[in-house]
Each structure stands twice: as structure tokens, then as C-alpha cells.
Amino acid sequence: MEIKQDENWWSRDYAKQLDQQDPLADFRNEFYIEKDIIYFDGNSLGLLSKPAEKAVHHVLDSWKQFGINGWTSGENPWYYLAESLGELSAPLVGAEPEEVVVTGSTTINLHQLVASFYQPSGSRTKILADELNFPSDIYALQSQLEQKGYDPDKHLIQVKSTDGRTLDEQQIISEMTDEIALIVLPSVLYRSGQVLDIKRLTEAAHSRGILIGFDLCHSIGVIPHQLDEWEVDFAFWCTYKHLNGGPGSVGGLYVNRRFFGRNPGLAGWFSSDKEKQFDMEHNLSPAATAGAFQIGTPHVLSMAPLIGSLNMFAEAGIEQIRTKSLKLTDYLLSLVRRRLHGYHFTIANPLSHDSRGGHIFIEHEEAVRICKALKEAGVIPDFRAPNGIRLAPVALYNTFEEVWQVVDLLRTIMEEERFLRFEKKREVIA
């Protein structure tokens, strides 16, 4: 499936030809897609799939049939579900099954990992992050510093952006001084979609004796990772974006096996070795895997959709998903340049495949009203204040024809100035 910019490449018929060549096309039929709606917000919340729905009903049936025995009975015993879903997630991050566990949430897992790996000593007391990261990560890092008695204003170093959209990796590396005890960075910047070079940054951190971890929320399920090969220390993520686990679905974490046997910073009931957990001893025997970094009882009903969703990812293959994702965003960017020329849109995401994630980011001074006009016409985008529009065509359920339709609609909105009918103010949830 190759996109060639010939005389017909901007036509709807050409988009349909691309869809006919798509090896992942059949997966669209596995999702619930509302009629006359084009959903380009899968990087905020993925759509419900039929396998995920079926898995939820199956877990409910297990509860109905087995009651408390569902913890150890049935097709997916709940007692081992965090680990079994970790095994399904491991290929998506390039890890061994025992290094991954599905548990907690993005922020809870970050708190756990920082509590476990931030060990200030001597001059190394600071945490290195960046100024473009999602606020929740920064809140957690500030909180962890305060818990250790440090002033976040002095001990949380945030790498600056020169353009407000992207980060300079060399600048990140230059901030890896002998005062840094821990580094936490995003794999993909949530606004611009910039992909950071995890391998390069990890090598730089380790050469300076610094531990480093990554937030994979905007990369897992759309970009392949090789965390083991890159020797990343830890990572964490949500599962409701590209992984389509449902609103508030349980998060995930990775801990490199060289840290197995380390006591978790925040110990709890499910941190235990499963063979000893019901001995009820008051001295914790932590699991000899990433399972040690769980805290409380797993949220089984919120994990259930992932049984279906992750099996679908195993069938599709993350490499094939990445290939289609890049072709979708290539096509979208090409159409934006061609058909929206003169309407004052700025492409604000990186252009190269190595540095672009699963969405594009365009800016316009009327972005908030343009997004409202798109929604009125049946397209679901994502507005980011003050002037950003994120568009995420998802490989498993979006089409090239939908890409064409979205850009065609944007052109119509601009030509007819439809956006002027709306208030220039974002909704409560953007």
C-alpha cells in the first residue's frame, strides 16, 4: 500500500483505492462506529470494539457463575489477570512477559515508580522532566519531591522548549547533570505528537549514572517499542487511548528485570508473591516480577475490555499498525497542504516518520471554533488550547476516505466561514 502523489492523489476515489489495498481494513468491522460520524479522537479515547464488549460480558458471566471462585476459576481467573494482560501487552513495548503488569492508572503507576526509583543521595537530589509534558505527570513528580522534603521549584528541572511544540533532545541530554537522580519523560508529546528517541536518551542517562523512565500513554498501541533492547529502567501508560480499553480502564507498567527483587516504594496487598499472599504475614514478600509494583486489588471489571482488545492487537501486529498509521497521517498532511493552502493553518507536528507519532497537530487562531464546526458536521477532533487541533486517524478503525472527508469538510468550513457561528470559548472538557 503506497501513496503516490499523482494527478489523482487528492481525489476521493484515490482514497477509496487506498482503502481497498489496506491489509487491516477488516478490523474496522470489529468496532462500534456511529453512523455519519468520523471519529478522529482515538488518541484521547479509543472506540469500543466487539471483542472488548464480549470480554466484559464473559467476565460478568464468570462473576455470575463462580462468585468468589472466579478469582481462580474460569477462562481468565481474576487473581492472575494483571499478569496475563501484562503478557499480552509485552510485545507492544518490547519486553518479557514478567516485566509488564496491567494495574493502577497512569498517575498511580508513576507515583509507584518514582517512589521506588527516586533515591536522592549526595548532590543527586533532582528530577528531570520537561515543560511540555501532560500536567498529571508533573503534579505527581512535584508531589513525590515534597514527600521527600524537597522544594519542587528547585528540585524539579523542566527542559524548556524553544518553539512551544517540540523538545530538543540534545538540550535534554545537556540537562543530565550530576545533580539529577531520576529522569521521567514522555515517549510522545501529547500536543505535537513528537516522538522522542528513547534509545538515545536512555544511553545518555545511563552513561551519567541516572535512572530513566518513560510515559508511553501516546505511543503504546500505535508505535513499536524495544524497552528491553534499549535498557529502559521503567515505563508506564494508560490503556484507554490507542489500546481501546474503555474510559478509565486500568493502566500498565514495565520494570526492567534487573530491578526484580527490589521492594516497591508503595507496598500493598497485590505487591506480594502470589504463592505467599494468603499467608497473611505482616512482612511483605514481594513478587519476583513486575507484579511487585502493583498496590491494591485489581479492578477486574475495568480490566475486562483489555482481554478482547489486546488479543486484537496481537492479531493485527504492532508493526503493521505503525505502517498504516504513518500512511494515514502522511495522506492527511498532504491533503492539508494541498487543500487548505491559503487558510492560515500551520502544521505544528514533526514531519519525519522517526519523530511523528499517531496524530497530526495543526494550529489556527480560530481552532476552538473550527473544532465546534467539525463536531456539528459529524467529525470528532480534539481541541488543545489556545489554538491547536489534534487529528488522529487510527489504523484499526479509520479509513483513507475518512481522511479525505475530514480535509474536504475543513475546506468547506473555511470557505463558508461556518466557524463564525460559534463562541470562541472551549467546552469544560476540551
Can you name the residues that pair with 254 across neighbouring β-strands? Answer: 100, 235
Could you tell me the sign of the dihedral formed by the alpha carbons of 190, 193, 198, 202, in that order?
negative
Set of cell numbers at residue 76:
481468565
Q: Which of 153-156's residues contact partners 24+ apart within 8 Å by CB, and which partners?
A: 154/126, 155/125, 155/126, 155/127, 156/126, 156/127, 156/129
- H or E element in which residue 22 lies: none
Binding residues for pyridoxal 5'-phosphate: 106-107, 134-137, 215, 218, 240, 269, 297
Task: Tell me whether the omega of the peptide bond preceding residue 386 falls within 30 degrees of 0, making it cis.
Answer: yes
Nearest residue to 27 (alpha-carbon basis) of 403, 323, 309: 309
Instruction: To the nearest 10°, report the CA torsion of 103, 143, 180, 131.
Output: 90
Set of cell numbers at residue 191:
500536543
Residue 28 CB neighbour total at 10 angstroms: 18
Could you tell me the sign of the dihedral formed by the alpha carbons of 334, 335, 336, 341, in that order?
positive
Cα distances from 310 to residues 52, 90, 240, 247, in angstroms, run 9, 10, 12, 16
Set of cell numbers at residue 194:
513528537
Give the three-state DSSP class for 361: strand
Set of cell numbers at residue 211:
535512572
Binding residues: 106-107, 134-137, 215, 218, 240, 269, 297
Residue 343 CB neighbour total at 10 angstroms: 15
Ordered DSSP codes for 59-126 = HHHHHHHHGGGGGTSSSS-GGGHHHHHHHHHHHHHT--GGGEEE-S-HHHHHHHHHHHH---BTTB-E
Ordered DSSP codes for 211-270 = EEEEE-TTTTTTS---HHHHT--EEEE-SSSTT---TT---EEEE-GGGTTPPPSS--GG
Nearest residue to 140 (alpha-carbon basis) of 156, 125, 120: 156
Question: Which residues fall within 8 angstroms of residue 51, CB to CB, at 6 or more apart?
Answer: 30, 308, 309, 311, 312
Residue at 141: amino acid letter: L
